[in-house]
A and B are shown apart, each in its own frame.
Chain A
Amino acid sequence: MTAGVDLGVPATQAIRSDEDVVRVRQLVRTTAVAVRLSLVDQTKLVTAASELARNTLIYGGGGSAEVTTVSDGRRRGVRIVFADRGPGIPDLDLALTDGYTTGGGLGLGLSGARRLVDDFDIRTAVGEGTEITITKWSR
C-alpha cells in the first residue's frame, strides 16, 4: 500500500498516443527534480513511468497518468497513478513474471517497473480496467 500525504495538486496527462508517453516521461522528470530525487532515482522513476505509460497505451487501450508530490512527514516523493478502462489482467502473477508478454515486447515492463520503484500497487478487474500506483521516495 502507498502511505503518505498528498502535497500538491496532481497533474494529469492523458495517454492516447506515442507522443503522450513522451509527455508522461517529461512530466514525471520535472516532478522528480522538484522533490529532489537523486539522479539515479529520477532515472529509475522515469524509466518505470515510461514502461507503465506504454502498457496503459498498448494493453489498456489508452488512459491517464496522474502525478502527485507526496510526503510521509520525513521524506518527499512522487506518486503516479496509471489508470485505464481496458480489458484488465486475468492472471496478475503471470503478468508480473519476468519475460512474460502478450504484446510481443520483452516482458519486462510490469516486473521491471516494480523493481525500479519503492511502492507498487496494482488493482485490476477483467473487463473493467487496470490501475497501477507507484511511489518513489527521496532517500
Chain B
Amino acid sequence: MERVPILKIGDILLVSIQVDMSDQTAIQLQEDLAERIVATGCHGVIIDITALDIVDSFVGRMLSTIASISKVLDAETVVVGMRPAVAITLVELGLSLNGIRTALNVERGMELIAASRADDGDVALGDDEDTETTATP
C-alpha cells in the first residue's frame, strides 16, 4: 500500500496527494495526519489535491473527516487546488464538503490559516513571525 507523505512547513502540515489513492491509503492518511498534528503541535493542515483527477464520495468523506479530526486537535484544515472539472462533478454527485475550508492554491491556503489564527487571538507556537501581530489596518 502506498502512503501519502506529510511535510511540516513552519506551523503547517502540508499534504500533497500525488497518487490515485486506494481507500486503504486514504484511511491511513487520516491516521498519519492525526498523529503528526499531535506530535508537531501544528495549527494548520493544507491538503493539496491539484493532482487528483477525481474526488468521489469516499475521498470527499475522508476530507471532511480529516477536517473534523484536525479541529478537535486544535488545527485548521484547508483543501486547496481542486480542479474545475472535479468541482463540477462533486456538486452533481451531491457531495457537500461539510466543514471544509477551501482555497485556490497552497499560498492562499496558508494566508487563510494565518488569518484565522490571528482572528482567534492565539499566540502561535511556531516560529512564524507575523502570526503574533493581530492588528488589522
Binding site for B on A (CB under 8 A): 18-19, 21-22, 25-26, 29, 39-40, 42-44, 46-47, 50-51, 54, 98, 105-106, 108-109, 111-113, 115-116
The answer to whether A40 and B94 touch (CB under 8 A), given A18-B23, A105-B57, is: no
Q: Are B94 and A25 in contact (CB under 8 A)?
A: no
Q: Are A112 and B94 in contact (CB under 8 A)?
A: yes
Q: Which residues of B contact A116 (CB under 8 A)?
A: 89, 92-93
B25 nearest in chain A by CB position: A18
Q: Are B95 and A112 in contact (CB under 8 A)?
A: yes
Q: Which residues of B contact A46 (CB under 8 A)?
A: 53-54
The answer to whether A51 and B57 touch (CB under 8 A), given A18-B22, A40-B85, A43-B85, is: yes
Number of interface residues of B (CB under 8 A): 23
In the bound complex, what is the Cα–Cα distance between A105 and B65 (angstroms)?
A: 12
The 10 closest A-B CB pairs, nearest first, are A112-B93, A43-B85, A18-B22, A50-B56, A108-B57, A40-B85, A47-B54, A43-B89, A106-B57, A18-B24
Per-position binary interface string of chain B over residues 90-123, scored 1 when its CB falls under 8 Å from any chain A CB and 0 otherwise: 0011110000000000000000000000000000
Binding site for A on B (CB under 8 A): 20-24, 53-58, 60-61, 83-86, 88-89, 92-95
In the bound complex, what is the Cα–Cα distance between A51 and B60 (angstroms)?
A: 12
The smallest C-beta distance from A134 to any residue of chain B, in angstroms, reads 14
A-B CB contact pairs (8 Å), 24 listed? A18-B23, A18-B24, A19-B22, A22-B21, A25-B20, A25-B54, A29-B53, A39-B85, A42-B85, A43-B88, A44-B89, A46-B53, A47-B56, A47-B93, A50-B56, A54-B56, A54-B58, A106-B60, A106-B61, A108-B93, A108-B94, A108-B95, A112-B93, A115-B92
- The DSSP consensus for interface residues of chain B is helix
Q: How many A-B residue pairs have CB under 8 A?
A: 71
In the bound complex, what is the Cα–Cα distance between A111 and B88 (angstroms)?
A: 16
The smallest C-beta distance from A115 to any residue of chain B, in angstroms, reads 5
The smallest C-beta distance from B14 to any residue of chain A, in angstroms, reads 24
Q: Are B93 and A115 in contact (CB under 8 A)?
A: yes
The smallest C-beta distance from A66 to any residue of chain B, in angstroms, reads 20
Q: Are B23 and A21 in contact (CB under 8 A)?
A: yes
The smallest C-beta distance from A80 to any residue of chain B, in angstroms, reads 15
In the bound complex, what is the Cα–Cα distance between A106 and B57 (angstroms)?
A: 7
